[in-house]
């Protein structure tokens, strides 16, 4: 009986070692923190490491896969930089509610090689956390209502729009990613 117990403890410790070890390794590869603006495209980043939410903490985001692989819902095309970096395209190509432009040519990877090109601003430079009044939050009208685009709304609208469409086109993806599904928070956020 005692030997069986010792044996079981050894087996469970080995499993825990492997499971915890691999979780630590995979989150450890997402270490990069983003400066307020920059010209170097990040690879694996951690967003929201300062989350004020009681339950939901940081979000790992792979900038490399999202800007190189065919992650558009059609599964065939690469997402344009300006789908996410929406202020980095000329005013005339913007569609409401997008009206603010800070660049006269659409952002591309090649554009950033030019030493004269302006750096890319991080979303957080404009989309502050709710309760941070150091700068006015952008406001849009959605379904007839005014909506303040804090960091939560900005990223959620951006990430969910595409993830929802991608899952609709390819239902198997629901096992891996989540969009507006109220039960899918842990597919992006680390639970506190």
Site for ligand HEC in 75-134 (CB under 6 A): 79, 81, 83-87, 97-100, 102, 107, 109, 112, 120-127, 129
Nearest-CB residue for ligand HEC: 38
Buried b (16+ CB within 10 A) or exposed e, 131-156: eeeeeebbeeeeeeeeeebbbbbbbe
CA atoms within a 13 Å half-sphere pointing along the CA-CB vector of 125: 12
Q: Assess 190 for contact with ligand HEC (CB under 6 A).
A: no
Q: How far is the CB of 11 from ligand HEC (least distance, A)?
A: 31
Do 122 and 35 meet the contact criterion of CB atoms below 8 Å apart? yes
Q: Near ligand HEC by CB under 6 A, which window of 5-13, 16-24, 25-33, 66-74?
A: 66-74
Q: How far is the CB of 105 from ligand HEC (least distance, A)?
A: 12
Q: How far is the CB of 13 from ligand HEC (least distance, A)?
A: 30
CB atoms within 10 A of CB 10: 10
Chain centre to alpha carbon of residue 77:
19
Q: Assess 52 for contact with ligand HEC (CB under 6 A).
A: yes
Q: Assess 166 for contact with ligand HEC (CB under 6 A).
A: yes
């Amino acid at each position: 009986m005692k030997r069986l117990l010792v044996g079981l403890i050894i087996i469970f410790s080995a499993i825990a070692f492997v499971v915890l070890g691999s979780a630590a390794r995979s989150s450890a590869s997402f270490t990069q923190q983003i400066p307020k603006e920059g010209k170097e495209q990040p690879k694996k980043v951690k967003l929201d490491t300062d989350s004020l939410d009681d339950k939901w903490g940081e979000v790992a985001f792979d900038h490399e896969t999202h800007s190189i692989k065919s992650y558009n819902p059609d599964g065939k095309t690469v997402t344009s930089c300006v789908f996410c970096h929406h202020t980095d395209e000329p005013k005339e190509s913007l569609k409401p509610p997008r009206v603010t432009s800070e660049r006269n040519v659409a952002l591309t990877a090649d554009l950033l090689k030019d030493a004269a090109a302006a750096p890319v601003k991080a979303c957080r430079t404009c989309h502050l956390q709710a309760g941070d009044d150091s700068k006015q939050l952008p406001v849009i009208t959605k379904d007839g209502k005014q909506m303040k685009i804090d960091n939560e709304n900005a990223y959620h609208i951006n990430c969910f729009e595409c993830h929802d469409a991608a899952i609709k086109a390819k239902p198997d993806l629901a096992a891996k990613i989540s969009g507006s599904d109220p039960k899918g928070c842990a597919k992006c956020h680390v639970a506190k």
